Amino acid sequence: MDFYITALLIIVLFAILGSGVWIGLSLAGVAWVGMQLFTTRPVGDAMVITIWGSSSSWTLTALPLFIWMGEILFRTKLSEDMFKGLAPWLEKIPGRLLHANIIGCTIFAAVSGSSAATCATIGKMALPELKKRGYPDSISIGTLAGAGTLGLLIPPSIIMIVYGVTANVSIAKLFIAGVFPGLILAGLFMAYTIVWALMHPDRIPPADQHLTFRQKLYESRHLIPVVTLISAVLGSIYTGIATATEAAALGVVGSMIIAAIQGELTWKNFIDSLMGGTRLYCMIALILAGAAFLTLSMGYIGLPRHLAEWITSLHLPPLALICALMVFFIVLGCFLDGISMVVLTMGVLLPTVERAGFDLLWFGIFVVLVVEMAQITPPVGFNLFVLQGMTRKEISWLSRQAFPMFVLMVLMVLLMYFVPGITSWLPQHMAN
């Protein structure tokens, strides 16, 4: 019986999504159908109470603030200055300026929280520069596609906030737990770039400048604004001075100060950033509200408990369970965006994961990592869409260039499984 109910709800969901209805309304519609057909609970008041409760959470306040911060920075010279500060230090590393994609995305991810914003901001600055200097489009775009996803893993992260609210996990601890995995994944991307450069030395143009150490230090002054903002936002969280929401507010103020110093804080930019952040957050809030109602509906129907019991009855070893969930999220990511994936599945999966003995903090980083994979898998790969808009390349071609980065993300999942301290050590150390 549970199988038929699940199949019916899935069919209803894809039917509504296929008709072009917004994702948040689609989730609420499926929840309404489920409660109306399979429970005796009155639907109207349950929907109103749930949607209001999910929308009025104080913890969720950090989300629009971080989005607004990213919108403000998107309209400043921060990315251009960051490239100027990094380039002189990369001339002797195999791959040279290709690493500016990865390092730039890593740094910008720490002040953005959005994969698409990270990919677009660094891409607009780096891709024309790399093309002008003779670097191949394939590796330039491939590394950018993979490194752009670090906007989700390196805190502050929008997906982490959504997961923390959904799973009732400390957002500050999630932020701290994402630092080491994010840096290690960035290191894997750089290692791949070095190997590729060593295998194709003829495709890497020679260094166009040789600066002294003093000159490199002087050029590094361009990194001061971004380093200062990162230190203020993440430092306030790690030291316990501020909550995630307070740190987000600090980030907004800091980004405005940077924009003002650079002469970019015009009234037009202020309004554009505010409206851009508002539009994006309204979309996310609607998805969260619909998903909260769907979670309640499935709870009344009993699907999460029955699914957990069924998966438990399979007696899958932990590694097999994680691999199955990874495949599940990758397939789901071919049709839904990252936020929808998290809010749509957590109500069903969390009881199963807890029963299997996984720490929800570790599982949160795992979820963020597999959602990163979905950003570069067609047909709904947000980073691929961003890159297509900038490069006018076919999605199939972009997917092929991003595939090595996808493989490295799978490797990172396995590394996290066998070495769980990658995610747990820093939160435990900071807590102590």
- Position 240 in a domain: yes
| pLDDT band (50, 70, 90) for residue 390 | confident
| Nearest alpha carbon to residue 176 among 373, 346, 353, 365 | 365
Write the pLDDT tens digit of every residue in 56-90. 777 677 778 887 887 887 777 776 777 778 778 88
Contact between 127 and 146 under an 8 Å Cβ cutoff? The reply is no
Q: Which of 94-103, 239-248, 338-347 has the lowest mean pLDDT?
A: 338-347
pLDDT over threshold 80, residue 211: no
Query: Running DSSP on this structure, what letter comes out for residue 243?
Result: -
**Residue 186: what are its φ and ψ, rounded to 5°?**
-60, -40
Write the pLDDT tens digit of every residue in 315-332. 778 888 888 888 888 877
Contact between 158 and 145 under an 8 Å Cβ cutoff? The reply is no
Range of the domain at 185: 25-31+41-431
- Position 73 in a domain: yes
At 305 the pLDDT is 64
At 312 the pLDDT is 63
| pLDDT band (50, 70, 90) for residue 166 | confident
Higher-scoring residue by pLDDT: 294, 275:
275
Contact between 98 and 197 under an 8 Å Cβ cutoff? The reply is yes
Question: What are the respective helix, strand and coil percentages of the chain, to the nearest 5?
Answer: 80, 0, 20
- Position 13 in a domain: no
Contact between 112 and 73 under an 8 Å Cβ cutoff? The reply is yes
- Position 1 in a domain: no
| pLDDT band (50, 70, 90) for residue 369 | very high
- Position 11 in a domain: no
**Residue 274: what are its φ and ψ, rounded to 5°?**
-65, -45
| pLDDT band (50, 70, 90) for residue 108 | confident
| pLDDT band (50, 70, 90) for residue 181 | very high
Contact between 148 and 122 under an 8 Å Cβ cutoff? The reply is yes
pLDDT over threshold 60, residue 432: no
Q: How many domains does the chain have?
A: 1
| pLDDT band (50, 70, 90) for residue 362 | very high
Instruction: Give whole-number Cα distances, 243 to 61, 239, 410, in Å.
Output: 11, 10, 32
- Position 193 in a domain: yes
- Position 14 in a domain: no
> Across the chain, what does the average pLDDT equal?
82
At 222 the pLDDT is 83
For 152-249, list the strands marked E by DSSP.
none
Write the pLDDT tens digit of every residue in 2-55. 566 767 777 777 777 677 777 778 878 888 888 888 887 888 888 888 888 877
At 304 the pLDDT is 60
Q: Which residue has the tokens 């554009």?
A: 272
